[in-house]
Structure 1
Amino acid sequence: MSTRLIQSLFVGACLLSSNLVFAKVTEYHLNIAENTVNITGKPVKRITVNGQFPAPLLEFEEGDDAVIYVHNNLKNQDSSVHWHGLLLPGIMDGVPGFNGFNGIKPQQDFVYRFKVRQSGTYWYHAHSKGQEQDGLYGALVIYPKDKKPIVATEKTDRDYVVMLSDFHESSSDQIMKNLKKDAEYYQNKRETIGDVFTQIKNQGLKSTWQDRRMWNHMRMLKTDLSDVSGYTFLVNGKTPEQNWLGNFKAGEKIRLRFINASAMSFFDVRIPNLKMTVVSADGQAVQPVPVDEFRIGTAETYDVIVEPKQENYQIQAESIDRTGFALATLHQENTPIAKFPEPQARPRALLTMQDMGMDHASHQDMQMNPSTAPMSNQPSMATADHDHMMMTEQHHQSMSMPDHMDKQEDPETKTKLQSNKENTAKTVQGWANAATPTGDKALTYQDLKSLKPQQDTREPSSELVINLGGTMERYIWTINGKKFTEAEPLKVKYGERIRLKFVNNSMMAHPMHLHGMFMQLENGQPSEYMPNKHTIVVPPGKTVTALLTADELGEWAIHCHLLYHMSAGMMNKLIVANVANGNLSTAPISQQATPDSTEKGAEHAHH
């Protein structure tokens, strides 16, 4: 063997070993415990991580070997950590009951090890009971290799996480008990007589009478935008009074990484007088979109770039039920910090028949012939045909709801309604209506366009229909008519290209999250530029579709990311498996399953 050949082999071996052996290892220790926290002036027991509420920011670089030691110091509760939006082996995904992971027992540890295969803005949270609501959630940022921006326009001088969340003085366990007791337990912003007169003025007496008769017949609330009220909204764990501050110098460009880490809240986000350019959605780069505001669903993330010209700006994230704001300030160094007044709440939206999946004809038919509404003993939607789906299940649910019109308002409710009189007198119609000022641009899903072309643009070979519904009488939420504990897993062949069709049969929006893989949202963009999403908001009464390349073997959770909807049953297991001789296997055909065996197969677009 020649000397030159030996030298070449030696150099090649060194290069290979440097990639495999000397990848940077980034370690963290997370200590989960219960401690007393005081967020709103009332000391309460909550979950802390390393003594912090919420959990600390974790930072990685693409290509790192992540090693995260999780210590469960809770006395009587199993725990877990799910790495939301990350591509990793199933055993490391952190969902008890999936891929052989059984959770972390009290006083025990678990070590998460995985290769960091992507960059972007993500987050992590518990996947055990209500621990996410109770404090086990935090931001996770992965920088590109060598921290170089993906494109030149992304080069910024500052980089801040803006993590939005909702804090409640009641524990997650108590909130769930209240919802099970009465699905309308937290509905204290109901319509007033003023709303009725406003509707008469705008629509006329006859139309108003027909509309009110319909809603009363169904025993539903037009104001049911959020199942839980009483939240204090936080930015990076700080209340509006504590006012999280992000400093900058004149002339700097800033990246703001918005994360909706709430349990149950949608937010409309804006920075008055400051244009935002959206450059990433769910951690995945998109072609820049200049906007004035955007709506962010639970579990979604958006990165925006801003270029401040003034000394102070207020970041405003208003809950869609208009019960409050998460607030923060961008502040130019060496200038006085502005004291902003509390922003004026926007008009709240009232749900419409279209939000319930009914057109005008359906509406009229129901008024003229109420007997067409199926009663509670009708078959579930799992057995109904699709043509009747958008109307039937919602009526099925609604007929058994308690009659809110007969309830007496308690003094606290009357006080809240009185204090909101100016705002409740002004309403807008439809879930999607954020009352965006005329001339301002609000982000829509149709605006999102992948920065890089998708590698897999095949047409889907099959379609998986996912019907979203529930029974409000018992506060049960379902996928395809069944709650998680009763449902058969969904099965997909490894490598298959499928269409996921989310059909929302309910009057509430559902942010649907898929673990382990990215979906390509069908939003009107060409197939090669459909945006990657790990969480897709399905508006009330609407259908949203996405394409999926099933290139990650394993058992993956698919669920609504509204915590109490998932806990009440809106969850299923999506199994991606090889098919050989009629048998399903989540192990690669060529080898036995190992903890990192599902890392292969990531050649497609979500890289």
Structure 2
Amino acid sequence: MNGALGGGALAALASWYPAWAQPVSYGIASTLPTVSGTDITLRIARQTMRVDGKVSRAIGINGTVPGPLVRLKEGQQARLTVINDLDEDSSIHWHGLILPFQMDGVPGVSFPGIKPRSTFVYEFPVKQSGTYWYHSHSGLQEQIGHYGPLIIDPAGADPVGYDREHVVVLSDHSELSPEAIFRKLKVNPGHFNMQRQTLSGLLDGKDQSLKERVRWGAMRMDPTDVADVNGSTYRFLVNGYGPRDNWTALFAPGERVRLRIVNASAMSIFNVRIPGLRMTVVQADGLNVVPIEIDEFQIGVAETYDVVVTPAEDRAYSFVAEASDRSGMARATLAPRAGMAAAVPPLRGRPLATMKDMGMGAMAGGDASCAAEHAAMGHCAPADASPDHAAMEHGAAAGGMNHSMRDFSVAPQVKRDPSVQSISPMPVDRMGEPGQGLEDAGHKALTYRDLIALDRNPDVRAPERALDIHLTGNMERFMWSFDGVKMSDHHEPIPFIEGERVRVNLINDSMMSHPIHLHGHFFELVTGKGDRAPRKHTVIVQPGGIATFDFTADALGDWAFHCHLLYHMHAGMMRVVSVRPRGAAA
């Protein structure tokens, strides 16, 4: 912007800036309200919230969005009284907590839900420590503010040393109701995509070539379809504040500052960085990892990461959480004093999906090699593999593949259903990649292969069996499922026997990333780390990729298993996992 412009001219132009670049007149230095102790009360109610000066409807807890920070202590007995002041059923799920399934908070799976104007008491022993969160599992309430952070302090010494901490809750918020968003997605799944390829993109070489466009068009696939809902309707928030609000986390130069980062979004995967400040990852999904220094990381919906930063200078730093499709960003400031601001970097160029994202990793020249664990299970295409031309039904007009690519012979367990648009012909292990848009970041971006558990895994037995689960969808009709089966199909739960050790291969047959969450358990990512495999409760499965984990079915009961993209889950990408006592009748 021309520095000669006066204040009046700048003010006149301000409304035309994107939200993340708008002038900031003040900074909000605040901490989240906190509730703790052995008897906690949470009240769910309708309210309004103000984001960047605009008021919209919300559901809050104890009058705030996000809800208050719930702070517990490892080893205590938790008692949480939840009052539902809504005119509809509600619930709270304690995301990532190990507890009796009746206390997990999923209506229709583990309890009936909380009726309007009634109360439910959650009681459970606190068996872990770390950074977690809680949210509604009723309808689409999570989208409009029904979420909050949860921290459990360790019973003993914390292996992470720090002088100060800040809780950073990332989320997305729209003035449209979640029901309206879902209706628009069902009518036109590309409704919110304002980043389609243009003629200028073709001419300047920033987008696909004409030949590539024709090929993708014949398959009726859009390489810019990275996020279903994005910055065209969302404002991206930090602790309930928009980019112009400039939420500020204070520090004293030289302090070790711990940032407990929670992605409580409905649909937004973020790429997080602090320009000018490296981050040391010390915890993933609440469990400690061997510290690793990085510049950026991708955080899927429902994941948590704890990082430590040590700002040495007496100046402000911008905390940037850029939506993975680059349609906007959440922005906050780290500063020694309130009211300060640092330069906010511009949005980077939006990523385009590739042949690898279509499940043709070997053909696309990507790394089709897998860890030995995967190869033993037979899930990796050889580097010189060629596509199954019959499966992809070449058409003369298309000069490429038929858009369906529905070769069920490679996935016999997948139901032949309209919700299954394609089967990845050559999916590859993508656990060593940082995520869409970060392949050429130019600095160190975290991958799952970088994570090493600080403590030895509690169960290091080899898996007794392997289970393939395909993440299936029809992007043209906004239908989502596991193995072609939707939650509404009322299929039998996925069965496990108490204590058994199982290897699960999540195979993504769609062109979108899916953060997959298993309730009531942690699992070990199969990334070659042996007895120090990173343990998580949520994992992003990259488009056309495979994510493999081992887990011990040690929690009896029925547990939700789903994609944590809210509208994907709502559209059917959810099943029930049932852990049954050993020796029980089938």
Determine if the alignment matches structure 1 residue 79 to structure 2 residue 82.
no
Q: Summarize deviations over 1:134-172 as a string: whole Å, max 9, x none.
A: 1100000111115x31x2xx1111011111100111111
Counterparts of 2:434 and 2:198, CA distance in 1: 18
Residues 309 and 337 of structure 1: CA distance in aligned 2, closer, same or farther (over 3 Å): farther
Residue from 510, 524, 527 that aligns with 2:528: 524
Deviation of the 1:53 alpha carbon? 1.6
Please tell me whether the aligned partners of residues 53 and 237 of structure 1 are also in contact (alpha carbons under 8 angstroms): yes
Instruction: Give the equivalent residue in structure 2 for 1:357.
Output: 359
Range with bigger deviation, 237-246 or 561-570: 237-246
Give distance in 1, aligned partners of 2:193 and 2:283. 35
Which residue of structure 2 lines up, in the alignment, with residue 459 of structure 1?
Answer: 462
2:493 counterpart of 1:494: no
Q: Which residue is 1:92 aligned to?
A: 103
Contact kept, 8 Å, 2:219 with 2:402, in 1: the verdict is: no
Helix, strand or coil at the partner of 2:203: helix
Paired residues for 1:439-518 under 5 Å:
440-486=443-489, 487-518=491-522
Measure the CA separation in 2 of the matches of 1:540 and 1:395.
Answer: 17
- Asked if the contact 1:352–1:430 (Cα under 8 Å) also holds between the matched residues in 2, the reply is no
Cα drift, residue 385 of structure 1: 2.4
Matched, 1:562 2:572: no
Once the two structures are superposed, the pairs formed by residues 258-277 of structure 1 within 5 Å of their partners are: 258-277=261-280
CA contact (8 A) 1:393 1:505 kept: no
**Separation (CA, whole Å) in 2 of partners of 1:233 and 1:375:** 34
CA contact (8 A) 2:298 2:435 kept: no
1:500–1:513 distance in 2 versus 1, CA, 3 Å: same
CA shift for structure 1 position 117: 0.5
Partner of 1:166: 172
Alignment of 1:534-545 (within 5 A): 534-545=537-548
In structure 2, do the counterparts of structure 1 residues 398 and 555 end up closer, same or farther at CA, with 3 Å as the change threshold? closer
| Separation in 2, partners of 1:202, 1:233 | 26
Matched residue SS, 1:132: helix
Q: Report the counterpart of residue 30 of structure 1 in structure 2.
A: 42
Partner of 2:379: none
> Aligned partners of 1:372 and 1:344: how far apart in 2?
37
Match of 2:421 in 1: 397
Task: Report the 3-state secondary structure (helix = DSSP H, G, I; strand = E; otherwise coil) of the residue aligned with 2:466.
Answer: strand
Distance of 1:132 and 1:395 partners within structure 2: 25
Moved more, 90-99 or 117-126: 90-99
Deviation, 1:472, is 2.6
Q: Does 1:316 align with 2:328?
A: no
Q: Secondary structure at the match of 1:257?
A: strand
**Who is 1:599 aligned against?**
none
State the partner residue of 1:53: 65
SS at match of 1:350: coil
Tell me which amino acid in the other structure corresponds to 1:96. Answer: P
CA distance in 2, matches of 1:282, 1:216: 39
CA distance in 2, matches of 1:343, 1:372: 39
Question: How many angstroms does 1:38 deviate by?
Answer: 2.6
CA contact (8 A) 1:31 1:72 kept: yes
Partner of 2:285: 282
Query: Any conservation in 2 of the 1:220–1:398 contact (CA below 8 Å)?
Result: no
Give the counterpart letter for 1:213 in structure 2: V
Query: Is the 8 Å Cα contact of residues 120 and 141 (structure 1) preserved in structure 2?
Result: yes
Long gaps (5+) in structure 1: 1-23, 400-428, 585-607
Note the 1:270-349 alignment, pairs <5 A.
270-311=273-314, 312-333=316-337, 337-349=339-351
Q: Which secondary structure state, in structure 1, belongs to the residue aligned with residue 289 of structure 2?
A: strand
Alpha-carbon distance in structure 2 between the residues aligned to 1:166 and 1:45: 14
Residue equivalent to 1:222: 223
What secondary structure does 1:191 align onto? Answer: coil
Shift of the 553–389 alpha-carbon distance from structure 1 to 2, 3 Å rule, reads closer
Q: In the alignment, does 2:233 pair up with 1:236?
A: no
Distance 1:396 1:257, change over 3 A: closer
Match of 1:69 in 2: 81
* Count of aligned pairs: 511
Specify whether residues 520 and 61 from structure 1 end up closer, same or farther in structure 2 by C-alpha distance, changes over 3 A only.
same
Q: Secondary structure at the match of 1:289?
A: strand
Contact preservation (8 Å) 1:353, 1:363: no
Query: What CA deviation, in whole Å up to 9, does each residue of 1:266-310 have, x standing for no partner?
Result: 111111111110010000100011001111111000000111112
**In proportion to residue count, which structure has more helix?**
1
For 1:114-125, list aligned pairs within 5 A: 114-125=124-135
| Identity within the alignment, % | 45
Whether contact under 8 Å (1:373, 1:396) holds in the other structure is no
**Is 1:110 aligned with 2:134?**
no
CA contact (8 A) 2:478 2:571 kept: yes
Q: Which amino acid aligns with 1:224?
A: D
Task: Say if 2:150 is the partner of 1:135.
Answer: no
On the 8 A contact 2:93/2:135 being kept in 1, the answer is: yes
In the alignment, residue 140 of structure 2 is paired with which amino acid? Answer: G
What amino acid maps onto 1:51 in structure 2? G
Task: Tell me by how many angstroms 1:37 deviates.
Answer: 2.4
1:188 corresponds to which residue?
194
* Amino acid aligned to 2:103: M
CA spacing shift, 1:367–1:53, aligned 2, 3 Å: same
3-state SS in 2 of match to 1:180:
helix
- Kindly tell me: are residues 202 and 575 of structure 1, through their superposed partners in 2, closer, same or farther at Cα, counting changes over 3 Å? closer
Q: CA deviation at 1:579?
A: 3.7
Letter in 2 for 1:503: I
Shift of 1:363: 10
- Using a 3 Å threshold, how does the CA distance of structure 1 residues 395 and 139 change in structure 2: closer, same or farther? closer
Distance 1:30 1:362 in 2: 55
Q: Which structure has the greater CA radius of gyration?
A: 1
Quote how far apart the aligned CAs of 1:337 are: 4.4
**1:545-580 per-position Cα deviation (integer Å, ceiling 9, x unaligned):** 000001110101110000000000000000001143
1:121 Cα deviation after fit? 0.3
Question: Please, what TM-score do these two structures have when normalized by structure 1?
Answer: 0.80
* Alpha-carbon shift at residue 66 of structure 1 (Å): 0.8
Bigger drift between 135-144 and 453-462 goes to 453-462
3-state SS of paired residue (1:145): coil
Which residue number in structure 2 is paired with residue 212 of structure 1? 213
- 1:431 and 1:540 in contact (8 A); partners too: no
CA 72–296 in structure 1, closer or farther in 2 if over 3 Å, else same: same
- The equivalent of 2:370 in structure 1 is none
TM value normalised by structure 2: 0.82
CA contact (8 A) 1:67 1:112 kept: yes
CA contact (8 A) 2:419 2:474 kept: no
Cα 1:293–1:431 change in 2 (3 A) is closer
1:117, 1:395 → 2: CA distance? 39
Residue of structure 2 in register with 1:406 after alignment: none
Name structure 2 gaps, 5 residues minimum.
1-35, 365-385, 424-432
Deviation at 1:523, TM superposition (A): 1.4
Query: Secondary structure of the residue that 1:214 maps to in structure 2?
Result: helix
Structure 2 CA distance for aligned equivalents of residues 116 and 455 of structure 1: 18
The one-letter code matched in structure 2 to 1:320 is S
Whether the aligned pair in 2 keeps the contact of 1:452 and 1:529 (CA below 8 Å) is: yes
